A and B are shown apart, each in its own frame.
Chain A
Amino acid sequence: MPGTIVQSGFTDATFEDFLASRDEPGWLVDLRRAAWKKFNELPMPSRQDEEWMRTDIRTFHFSKFGLPEAAAAGTDVPPGLLTHGVDLAGRTVTLNSQSHQGELEEKWSHAGVLFGSLDSLVREHPELVRKHLFARAFDPNYDKFAALHAACWTGGTLLYVPKGVEIDRPLHMLSSITDGGVDLGHTLVILEEGARVALLAETSSLVPTGKGLHVGAVELIVGPWAHLRYVNLQDWGSGVWHFAHQKAIVDRDAAIQWTIGALGARLAKVNQHVGLVGPGADVQVNGVMFTEEKQHLCYHTLQHHEAPSCRSDLLYKGALQDQSRIVWRGMIKVDPGAQKTDGYQRNDNLMLRSDSRADSIPGLEIEADDVRCTHGATSGRVDDELIFYCRTRGLTRKEAIRTVVAGFFQQVSDRIPIESVRVALAEAVGRRIREYS
C-alpha cells in the first residue's frame, strides 16, 4: 500500500517522495523517471493544434493539483450505478487513486484470473505487467498528460484472464474521488487467447459538484479469439478535469464491444483508439454523451485497421443542454495491407437548447483499395411536432422531452446486451433533463 502523499503540485520533490514511498521493480522506476522527464519537457498543448483548437484548457493549471492524497480513513464509497441488480464475479474500488476494496470469486482466482489493484499486482506479477504496460496500447510520449500519467500513475486495476477462461458474470471497477481529489488510475486488461469477460468500469465523485482531476489511461489487450465487453461510464463531479488516453489492441478473430457513457466532468478530453491488429478482428464502439451547463466533452476516436478482413463499427450519440459543448473527431485509418476492411462511424447530436454546440468531424484515411468505409454525422434540435404529439397523449413537456431523448438514445441502447448498463444510462440521462418552456 503506497504511503500518503502530500498534495503540493507536481514538483520534482513530490515526485521523488512519491517514488520513495513505493516499493516497485527497477524497470518500473526507470519508466516513471523517463516519463517524468518527458512531462517536464513537453509544453502544454497548443490551441494551434487541430486536436486542441476546440478545447480550451487555459484555465487548467497543474499547480492547483498534486499527486493523489489518500482520503480520510473510513470514508464510505457508495456503490456504482452499474452494479444495481447485477450478480458480479468480482469488483474493485479505488478512492483518490488508492485501492479501497477488491474481491474476486475464488473459482476464478483458482482458474488463474487476476483482478485487483495494479499497485499490488505489479509487485506480485512483475513480468506479466512489464510485458504489456505501455508496450503497445499507450504511448507515454504522446502529450504532457500522457507523460504525467506514465510517471505518476497510481491505483488503477489489472484484469488478466488466462487462455480459454470464460468468466460468466461481469466484473466491476469503480474509481471515485473526494472533492478536490486526484485520480491517476491506470487500467490494464489482458485477455489471452479465447478468453471471455465483461468488465464494467465507472468513475464517480463523492460530491456531485466536486472538483478534481483525472489523468488516466486504459489499455485493453484482447488476444486471438478472445471476447471483451467493456463498459466505461464517466460520471465525475461537475468540477472535475478529465484527461484520458484509452486504447484497445484487438488480435486475430477477437472481438470487443466497447461502450462509453460520458456524463460528468467540467471538461473531458479523451483519445479513444482501437487497433485492429489481427485478421478478422471485430470492434463495436458505442457512445452515449449527455452534457449540461458549461460542460465540455471532447472525444477523439481512431479506428485503426492494421490487418485485413476486420470490421469496426462506431456509433456515438450526444444530447446537449444549456451552454454545453461536445466535440467529436473520428478517424478510420486503413493501412495498405488491410484489404477487405469494413469500417463505419457515425455521430448524432441532439441539441436541447440553441446555445449548446456540437462539432462533428468524421474522417477517413484509406491506403488500401478493396475496402468499405463509410461515415455520417447529424446534428439537430428536438422536433416541436414530436413534443406536441407527446403532449396530446397526456405527457407534460418534461416527460415529452424525456421520451424524445430516450428514443434518440435507443439505437445505442439496443446494442448494449447488459441490462444494468442500459438501465443505469437511461436513468442517469433522465435525471439530468430539465424543464424547458
Chain B
Amino acid sequence: MSDFVAVAQVSDLPDPGKMTVEVDDQIVVLFHIGGKFYCIDDVCTHDGGPLGEGERDGCQIICPRHGARFDVRTGEALTMPAAQDTRMHEVRVDGNTVSVKLSD
C-alpha cells in the first residue's frame, strides 16, 4: 500500500494546467482544473501512449497518438480506440503542497 508522496507546489501548476511527475518510479499526470487537482496514469490504455503530452479539453485529456479521450477526474476511457479506463490516483493538497498516493 503506497503512501502520499509530495510531488509539487500548488504554485507550480497554473489553473488550468497539467504536468507529469514521478512517484515511486512511476510517471503520472497531475492536472489542476477549476481549483481542484486530479491525477491519472501517464498511459493510454489503447497503445501505451503518453497522455501527459496530449491536449486537454475541459476535464478530458486526448491521447496524442490516436485521439482516445479520458476523463482526468476518474480515468474513465470515454472514446475509442481506448476501451479500458486508465488508473486514477488520490490527490491531497496540504497548504501549498500537492501529494499523490498511487492506486494499487
Interface residues of A (CB under 8 A from B): 47, 53-54, 56, 58-59, 357
Contact = CB atoms under 8 A, between A and B. Distances in A.
Contacts of A53: 48
Contacts of A58: 22, 27
Nearest to A47: B50
A59 B48 contact: no
B26 interface: yes
15 contacts: A47-B50, A53-B48, A54-B47, A54-B48, A56-B27, A56-B43, A56-B48, A56-B50, A58-B22, A58-B27, A59-B22, A59-B25, A59-B26, A59-B27, A357-B48
Contacts, number: 15
Nearest to A59: B25
Interface of B: 22, 25-27, 43, 47-48, 50
Contacts of B48: 53-54, 56, 357
A47 B26 CA distance: 16
B65 to A, nearest CB: 8
A393 B73 CA distance: 48
Nearest to B24: A59
A47 B43 CA distance: 12
Given A56-B27, A357-B48, 9 more contacts: A47-B50, A54-B48, A56-B48, A56-B50, A58-B22, A58-B27, A59-B25, A59-B26, A59-B27
A53 B50 CA distance: 9
B22 to A, nearest CB: 6
Nearest to A58: B27
Contacts of B50: 47, 56
A357 B84 CA distance: 12
Contacts of A357: 48
B87 to A, nearest CB: 10
Most buried by A among B25, B43, B47, B48: B48
A305 to B, nearest CB: 30
Contacts of A47: 50
